[in-house]
Structure 1
Amino acid sequence: MTGFPVPKLNNNDTTYVLVEWLAEDGQAVRDGDPVVLLETSKATEEVVAPHDGVLRRLLAEGAECEPGQVIAHLLGPGDETAPEGPAGTVAGAATTDSTGGDGRGPGLPAEPGDSVSSGPGLPAGPGASGPGGPGGAGAGDGSGVVVTMPARELIEAHGIAMERVYALGRKIIRRADVEELLGGPSSATPQTTSTAGATTTNGDASGSALPSTAGQANGLLAPAQSAVHSATDSALNGAEPDDDAQWITLSRAQQRTAEVVERSRREIPAAFTVMTVDVTEVLSLARDLTRRLRALVGLPEMVVKATGGLLDRFPVFFAEPGPGPRPRLRRAATADVGVTVDVGRGLFIPVVRDVGDRPLSEIAGDLAGFRKTALTGSFRESDLQGGNITLTLHTHDGIVHAVPIVFPGQTCALSLTAPRPEVVPDGAGFAVRKTAAIGLAYDHRFVNGRDAAEFLGELRSALESPARFLTENG
């Protein structure tokens, strides 16, 4: 008998949600078979069996788990089958939240009377009994319903009553199910949620109201109308207004973003340099390439390709800082560029691999595919991992320049603004050209201002002479 531990899926989350078991308890599974669906703050990931065996679950659906925590056993020939406890779990197995529920730590046996962990931040179903009183969700809350994070965000954004969600009669509620509710006749006016104090959380505060950007609507809970009215009535009567009506609670994904940003500001002494680039010719070439390649080629695709061409000359800009007190860097074998994608359903940073050696048509295809995936929020963790430099896109009109965050594990991050017309000297007169600002935030422990200026200068030269650059670099 061997343990089935939770793998490390990303560097931003310390806990995941066990959304769904894909194999039945007691079922024989083979090496590589999908066994369990885990949800992080950014993606939902299938985890496969590491070898053959008979599955014995140790954790219920809807519970939180940590990397390294054993959530199941795989029984081999000759192993004794452990007796089953309630809800198909092995008797005496742990059903804990991320802290073990009572402080004993993840994966330890539960004491009699311990509650199954609730899904983070969900209002309770009928008869719920989660940690801290009413308000838990997921397996063990009486409803048996598990709500995924994308679905939960949509529920919170539109203030949908959980009774309507439970009434769907489905074991797993996904975003598509919530969109089905919103498309119904009663969805024109958002329904009110329960009043203050009706929800509890598992420590991430996502339920009292996945990386996402500030201002996105689906990361904020629409205040319950009843709570707002109660606050107004209390104010008119001279009493203190209802606290819940005054607070906007961040989604789980936005909380993870806050943690990454805070860590970046705390650990990385970043500096910033910005350079203006004439993009008139590269935009014209991009339009021609879009027709020829039958793939959308724009300024971001050209910047990604040009960035990949700088790996050999500027290896520090793509390197990974090493551990320990002595500053050192691990070289990158390929230029893997993370590009921000935000279509209104959260900020994602999927990674385009090996951009220096791959043709522009493949890079354009990857980015187009990422934009489609962002519409459904169905990224896999493998799509979001492994970048060694990041390009943040700031394409709203009027943005002059933007300072990106240098992510832990990287030394640099680029920013790109939307092209805008600019009058420039042209011989004896003037001409209107399209320009864009390309900024570079960098870890000043490894990169100096002169190096940053040279890097941006090379990038500008490639973009201002795009035909020559693409001929030399594919």
Structure 2
Amino acid sequence: MTEILVPKLNANDTSYTLVEWLVPAGTVVGAGDPVATVETSKAAEDLPSPGDGVLHHLVAVGAECAVGAAIGRLFGSAADRDRFLAPDPGAGGGPVITEPALRVMAERGISVAAVHALGRKVVRVADLAALDPAGTAPDRSEPHATGPDRSVPDVAGPEPDISGGGRRVELTAAQRAVGVVVAESHRTVPAAFVAVKVPLDTAAEHARALTREHRRLVGVPELLIAAIGSLLATHPLCFARLVAPGVVHVPGTADVGVTIDVGKGLHVPVLRAVEATPVHDLAARLMAHRMTALRGTFRAGDLTGANILLALHTDDDVTHAVPVVLPGTSCAVSLAGRQTELFPGPDGAVAQRTVVQLGLAYDHRVLNGRDALAFLRDLSAALQHPA
């Protein structure tokens, strides 16, 4: 017998929700076949079978599954599974164990032999209380589809006084996951912030020209992503990961995480190998991520592996934005909204131009302010001379 265990799928969650069994119980499956889909706070992921065998479900759809928990089992044959569910009376007899009771047995490590010793013909969840180390067994007669999200630690403190009215609103799982990442960032990353003002008219015109040429919507964010990737060789520490005190790992590719929020929670999909990708292809990939965010169908692989972050706050009334350095990265770039300003032109006359603030939050253990400012100035130069 082989157990199907829930793997660790991201850095934020400690449990996931089983949203679908892809294969009915009792079906023969092969190693690597997708058998179940679990949902994290950000994405859905198919779990493969760890081997060949006859599939048995231990967890119902809608249940919360902790990392490392068994959600199913593989038996060598259908007969083996049948004997597990209802042992052969001719071989000494045995009880019929209900599916909820089987799940509790798997969670609490209660053996089949111990259940047989109860002497019951049918074993239900309530019958397991005598075998549970804590003295009681949880009720699993219905799937655990609702309730608190145990992937996020309870840090709310004492219940606030709401006697003056109002109502209690539970945040979405996606927002609670964002809270975990932000709290971890503030707890572990000694971040600093610096910003520069960048004239944008040349970049905007170049983006319009690329849009016409490639018939694909290219904007300033896409130009900025490409500029970030182009600086991997000259500013490697901006892409580095701190692996020990005073030691970093510098990646071989620029994998840029870009914030996307279309009203269904904040997502940070990753554009990989940006330094080797043309701008119009980056635009196509970013648009595909936006459509995926609208559908809510990100996979865990879409959201992991960034080595630098770009936070987009491009509404025109946003003057500046301080991004969060993701744990495991050293830098986060922010792009604020466009502003119009007057400036003295070459002939002394007053002229008008569009500017934007470009910000950089950085891990002070890896970079100093001089390094951060040099990186921002090179990004600024790339936007002002995008061709």
Q: Is TM-score (shorter-chain normalized) higher than 0.5?
A: yes
Matched, 1:255 2:255: no
Match of 2:237 in 1: 316
Deviation digits for residues 48-107 of structure 1 (CA, Å, limit 9, x no counterpart): 2233221122222222112222222222369832433789749644378xxx5xxx5xx6
Identical aligned residues as a percent: 42
Match of 1:83 in 2: 84
Matched, 1:466 2:383: no
Cα pair 2:100 2:141 within 8 Å, conserved: no
Match of 1:334 in 2: 253
* Alignment partner of 2:330 out of 407, 411, 418: 411
Distance 1:33 1:241, change over 3 A: same
Match of 1:46 in 2: 46
Q: CA deviation at 1:398?
A: 1.6
Distance 1:72 1:200, change over 3 A: closer
Q: Supply the distance in 2 between the matched residues of 1:404 and 1:465 (Cα, whole angstroms).
A: 25
- Residues 77-116 of structure 1 aligned to structure 2 (within 5 Å): 80-81=80-81, 82-84=83-85, 89=99, 92-94=102-104, 113=125
Q: Supply the distance in 1 between the matched residues of 2:72 and 2:292 (Cα, whole angstroms).
A: 31
Deviation digits for residues 146-166 of structure 1 (CA, Å, limit 9, x no counterpart): 86xxxxxxxxxxxxxxxxxxx
Letter aligned with residue 32 of structure 1? G
Cα pair 2:104 2:125 within 8 Å, conserved: no
Q: CA deviation at 1:3?
A: 2.0
Match of 1:286 in 2: 207
Match of 1:28 in 2: 28
Matched, 1:434 2:346: no
What is the DSSP-based 3-state SS (H/G/I as helix, E as strand, rest coil) of the residue aligned with 1:94?
helix
* Alignment partner of 1:267 out of 188, 192, 196: 188
Letter aligned with residue 233 of structure 2? D
Matched, 1:454 2:381: no
Cα pair 1:286 1:297 within 8 Å, conserved: yes
Q: CA deviation at 1:31?
A: 2.6
Matched, 1:349 2:274: no
Q: Supply the distance in 2 between the matched residues of 1:200 and 1:373 (Cα, whole angstroms).
A: 27
Q: CA deviation at 1:431?
A: 1.6
Q: Supply the distance in 2 between the matched residues of 1:408 and 1:108 (Cα, whole angstroms).
A: 38
Q: Supply the distance in 2 between the matched residues of 1:95 and 1:61 (Cα, whole angstroms).
A: 18
Cα pair 1:352 1:363 within 8 Å, conserved: yes
Cα pair 1:56 1:89 within 8 Å, conserved: no
Cα pair 2:340 2:352 within 8 Å, conserved: yes
Cα pair 2:319 2:339 within 8 Å, conserved: no
Match of 1:124 in 2: none
Taking structure 1 as the reference length, what is the TM-score of the superposition? 0.68
Match of 1:401 in 2: 320
Distance 1:462 1:200, change over 3 A: closer
Q: Supply the distance in 1 between the matched residues of 2:222 and 2:47 (Cα, whole angstroms).
A: 32
Matched, 1:72 2:72: yes
Q: Supply the distance in 2 between the matched residues of 1:108 and 1:63 (Cα, whole angstroms).
A: 20
| Larger Cα-atom Rg | 2
Match of 2:310 in 1: 391
Q: Supply the distance in 2 between the matched residues of 1:202 and 1:340 (Cα, whole angstroms).
A: 23
Q: Supply the distance in 2 between the matched residues of 1:88 and 1:250 (Cα, whole angstroms).
A: 35
Of Structure 1 and Structure 2, which has the larger fraction of its residues in strand?
2
Match of 2:198 in 1: 277
Q: Supply the distance in 1 between the matched residues of 2:338 and 2:55 (Cα, whole angstroms).
A: 56
Letter aligned with residue 408 of structure 1? P
Q: Supply the distance in 2 between the matched residues of 1:77 and 1:113 (Cα, whole angstroms).
A: 26
Cα pair 1:393 1:417 within 8 Å, conserved: yes
Q: Supply the distance in 2 between the matched residues of 1:283 and 1:45 (Cα, whole angstroms).
A: 38
Q: Supply the distance in 2 between the matched residues of 1:262 and 1:42 (Cα, whole angstroms).
A: 17
Q: CA deviation at 1:272?
A: 0.2
Match of 2:224 in 1: 303
Q: Supply the distance in 2 between the matched residues of 1:337 and 1:114 (Cα, whole angstroms).
A: 51
Letter aligned with residue 232 of structure 2? L
Match of 1:236 in 2: none
Q: Supply the distance in 1 between the matched residues of 2:357 and 2:149 (Cα, whole angstroms).
A: 43
What is the DSSP-based 3-state SS (H/G/I as helix, E as strand, rest coil) of the residue aligned with 2:276?
coil
Match of 2:56 in 1: 56
Q: CA deviation at 1:241?
A: 6.0
Q: Supply the distance in 1 between the matched residues of 2:250 and 2:225 (Cα, whole angstroms).
A: 19
Cα pair 2:216 2:283 within 8 Å, conserved: yes
Cα pair 1:350 1:370 within 8 Å, conserved: yes
Deviation digits for residues 200-236 of structure 1 (CA, Å, limit 9, x no counterpart): 5465799xxxxxxxxxxxxxxxxxxxxxxxx9xxxxx
Distance 1:411 1:282, change over 3 A: same
What is the DSSP-based 3-state SS (H/G/I as helix, E as strand, rest coil) of the residue aligned with 1:281?
helix
* Alignment partner of 2:344 out of 425, 429, 446: 425
What is the DSSP-based 3-state SS (H/G/I as helix, E as strand, rest coil) of the residue aligned with 1:440?
strand
Q: Supply the distance in 2 between the matched residues of 1:51 and 1:263 (Cα, whole angstroms).
A: 36
Q: Supply the distance in 2 between the matched residues of 1:88 and 1:43 (Cα, whole angstroms).
A: 32
Q: Supply the distance in 2 between the matched residues of 1:307 and 1:201 (Cα, whole angstroms).
A: 39
Cα pair 2:175 2:266 within 8 Å, conserved: no
Q: Supply the distance in 1 between the matched residues of 2:319 and 2:372 (Cα, whole angstroms).
A: 19
- Residues matched between the structures, number: 350
Deviation digits for residues 239-284 of structure 1 (CA, Å, limit 9, x no counterpart): x567xx4323212221111111111111110000001111101100
Match of 1:445 in 2: 365
Letter aligned with residue 351 of structure 2? A
Match of 1:361 in 2: 280
In structure 2, the gaps of 5 or more residues are 87-95, 116-123, 128-136, 154-161
Q: Supply the distance in 2 between the matched residues of 1:320 and 1:205 (Cα, whole angstroms).
A: 25
In structure 1, the gaps of 5 or more residues are 116-129, 133-138, 148-198, 207-230, 232-239, 468-474
Letter aligned with residue 343 of structure 1? V
**RMSD over aligned Cα, in angstroms?**
3.0
What is the DSSP-based 3-state SS (H/G/I as helix, E as strand, rest coil) of the residue aligned with 1:246?
coil
Cα pair 1:392 1:415 within 8 Å, conserved: yes
Distance 1:95 1:419, change over 3 A: farther
Matched, 1:379 2:380: no
What is the DSSP-based 3-state SS (H/G/I as helix, E as strand, rest coil) of the residue aligned with 1:316?
helix
Q: Supply the distance in 2 between the matched residues of 1:108 and 1:449 (Cα, whole angstroms).
A: 57
Letter aligned with residue 174 of structure 2? A
